[in-house]
Amino acid sequence: MSDKILIAYATKAGSTGEVAEAIAEELRSGGAEVDVSPAKDVKNVSAYTAVIVGSAIRMGKLLSDATKFVKKQQDALGQVPVAYFVVCMTMKDDTEENRHTVESYLDPMREVVEPVDMGLFAGAIDYSKLSFPARTMSRAMKVSEGDFRDWDAIQAWARQVHSRLTER
């Protein structure tokens, strides 16, 4: 039987969904069957042999759709290997200190279900896609505009996580 993997993601402006799709493509080329869905739309995870949960970061926090999903599915997620990824601007500078900061963003989900792996990725901001409050907030926080997603790093992590999720 081939692996059937769910990628559930939480996004505000779309870039995390595109990262989820890129991970899915890589897993599919490795032979897995993969479904990709916004976390808030997932009803049941019992059909999957492994689950990946991804979230954007806003104001130093995971999006609530991701944390709610993990809490709601806690029992089922405890039965299968789970991996997490985050997409955020802190990873634009891939330093040890920033990795440490971004790993700590994942604590609210890690406290519920411990993952076999974590992908930490730089994200993207297009001010024209943001709501007025979000745009004002990002300007105030001096969050850089631009697309800093490193597709090679995302694909490399997808290959790595595929083998971790299917180790038996």
Ligand X SMILES: Cc1cc2nc3c(=O)[nH]c(=O)nc-3n(C[C@H](O)[C@H](O)[C@H](O)COP(=O)(O)O)c2cc1C
Q: Residues in the site for ligand X, rule: CB under 6 A?
A: 11-16, 56-60, 87-90, 123-125, 130, 134, 137-138, 143
Cβ distance 40 to 65 under 8 Å? yes
**Least separation, in Å, of the C-beta of 95 and ligand X?**
13
C-beta of 165: minimal distance to ligand X in Å? 22
Cβ neighbours for 99, distance < 8 A, ≥ 6 positions apart: 91, 120
Task: Specify whether the CB–CB gap between 120 and 86 falls below 8 A.
Answer: yes
Tokens of 93: 């500078």
Name which of 32 and 124 has its Cβ closer to ligand X: 124
Smallest separation, CB 166 to ligand X (Å): 27
**Number of other residues whose CB lies within 10 A of the CB of residue 129:** 13
Element (H, E) at 111: none
| CB closer to ligand X, 22 vs 130 | 130
The nearer residue to ligand X, 50 or 62, going by C-beta atoms, is: 62
> Closer to ligand X at the Cβ: 67 or 90?
90
Shortest spacing between CB 49 and ligand X, in angstroms: 26
Cβ 123 vs Cβ 148: under 8 Å:
yes
